[in-house]
A = this chain, B = another copy of it.
Amino acid sequence: MSHHHRNPVHSLAGPVEHCSLDLRRKLIRESPFFSNLEPGQIDEINSRFRDVGFSANKTILREGDNADSLFIVATGLVKLYSASGDGGILLIDILKPGEHFGSVAGFGPECYEETAVAAMDCCLLKISSENFHRVLTMHPQVAVRTVEILSHRVRFSHELMRRLGSYSAENRSAWLLLRLGEKLGRPWEGKNLINAPVSREELAAMIGITTETASRIVSRFQKKGLIESGRGWIAIKDPEGLKKLTEDVFD
C-alpha cells in the first residue's frame, strides 16, 4: 500500500558458461547423490559429467524428447512442468542447486515426461543414462542415496496430491507459500523472501487454480499481514499465521 519495494529477488546464477573444475567437484561432492564418497570416487564420477549452461527462459528439455540424460542443477533455478499437450499444465516444482531432473533410470527408448525451463541463467551438470547406470552399478552407496532421494520425491508427491484433491484454494496457497519459503527463502528485512521469480500465474499453476484466484488470495493474505508481495515476488511475514490456514480444513 504505502511504500512499494523494487523487486528484491536476487539472481542466484553464476556466469552462465563456466563451471570451473573446482566448482564442479565441489557441486558433485555436495550433491545429495554423492555425499560421503572418497575423493577418488568423486573424480571418477566427475569425469562422467559434462556441464552445460542455459540462459533464463530457455527450455532445457521438453516432454516427449528422447530421454537420455540426467541433469543436476549447479547454479540458478529450473522450473519443472508437467504439461501433456491437451491443456492441463502443472508446475511441479522449482528446482534449486543440488536437485535433479531428467531421466534417472531410462534404458531403452523412453521419453521425458516433464518439461524443464531455466527460471534464470543456470549451469547444469549433465550425465548420460548409460554413464549414470554405470555409476549406480559401480558405487552402491550412490544407488542407495538415489533410492532415498526418489523415495522422498514420491512422498512429496503424495502430499501435494492429497492437497490438490481435498483442500481449498486458500489452504493450498498457504501451504505452497510456506513450502517455497522453506525451500527458496532468504532473510530480507526481517521477513522470509521467496528468492525466485514467481508470477501469480506460476503460483496458480503449482496448485491447480487460476491466475485470478491466486491474485485474490495473495491480496487477501497481504491484507491480513501474512505476507508482503509485489510483481513477481513474495515475502513471508507471518509463517505461523499461514500454517494455521493450512491446518483449518473447515472454514
A contact residues vs B (CB 8 Å cutoff): 82-84, 86-90, 92, 104-106, 113-114, 133, 136-138, 140-141, 143-144, 146-148, 150-155, 157-167, 207-208, 247, 249-250
Contact assessment for B140 and A82 in the assembled complex, using a CB-CB cutoff below 8 Å: no
Closest residue of B by beta carbon distance from A140: B137
Contact assessment for A160 and B162 in the assembled complex, using a CB-CB cutoff below 8 Å: no
How distant is A80 from chain B, measured CB to nearest CB, in Å?
A: 9
Contact assessment for A161 and B104 in the assembled complex, using a CB-CB cutoff below 8 Å: no
Contact assessment for A133 and B137 in the assembled complex, using a CB-CB cutoff below 8 Å: no
Cross-interface CB contact of A157 among B151, B152, B161, B208, cutoff 8 Å: B161
Kindly list chain B residues whose C-beta atoms are within 8 Å of the C-beta of A143: 136, 140, 143-144, 146-147
Contact assessment for A154 and B155 in the assembled complex, using a CB-CB cutoff below 8 Å: no
Copies of this chain present in the complex amount to 2
A-B contact pairs, 7 of them (CB 8 A): A82-B158, A82-B159, A83-B162, A86-B249, A88-B249, A143-B147, A157-B158
Kindly list chain B residues whose C-beta atoms are within 8 Å of the C-beta of A250: 87
Kindly list chain B residues whose C-beta atoms are within 8 Å of the C-beta of A90: 158, 161-162, 165-166
Q: How far is the CA of A147 from the CA of B132 in the complex (A)?
A: 11
Cross-interface CB contact of A208 among B105, B151, B166, cutoff 8 Å: B166
Q: How far is the CA of A129 from the CA of B46 in the complex (A)?
A: 30
How distant is A249 from chain B, measured CB to nearest CB, in Å?
A: 4
Known contacts being A164-B208, A165-B208, is A147 close to B136, with CB within 8 Å? yes
Closest residue of B by beta carbon distance from A113: B155
Contact assessment for A82 and B161 in the assembled complex, using a CB-CB cutoff below 8 Å: yes
How distant is A143 from chain B, measured CB to nearest CB, in Å?
A: 3
Contact assessment for A104 and B151 in the assembled complex, using a CB-CB cutoff below 8 Å: yes
Q: How far is the CA of A157 from the CA of B165 in the complex (A)?
A: 13
Contact assessment for B88 and A165 in the assembled complex, using a CB-CB cutoff below 8 Å: yes
Contact assessment for A105 and B148 in the assembled complex, using a CB-CB cutoff below 8 Å: yes
How distant is A92 from chain B, measured CB to nearest CB, in Å?
A: 6
Kindly list chain B residues whose C-beta atoms are within 8 Å of the C-beta of A162: 82-84, 88-90
Kindly list chain B residues whose C-beta atoms are within 8 Å of the C-beta of A141: 137
Kindly list chain B residues whose C-beta atoms are within 8 Å of the C-beta of A155: 113
Kindly list chain B residues whose C-beta atoms are within 8 Å of the C-beta of A161: 82, 90, 92, 157, 160-161, 164
Kindly list 14 other residue pairs between chains A and B, CB separation below 8 angstroms, not including A87-B250, A105-B147, A164-B164: A84-B162, A88-B165, A88-B249, A105-B151, A137-B144, A138-B140, A140-B143, A143-B143, A143-B146, A147-B147, A150-B151, A153-B154, A154-B154, A164-B165
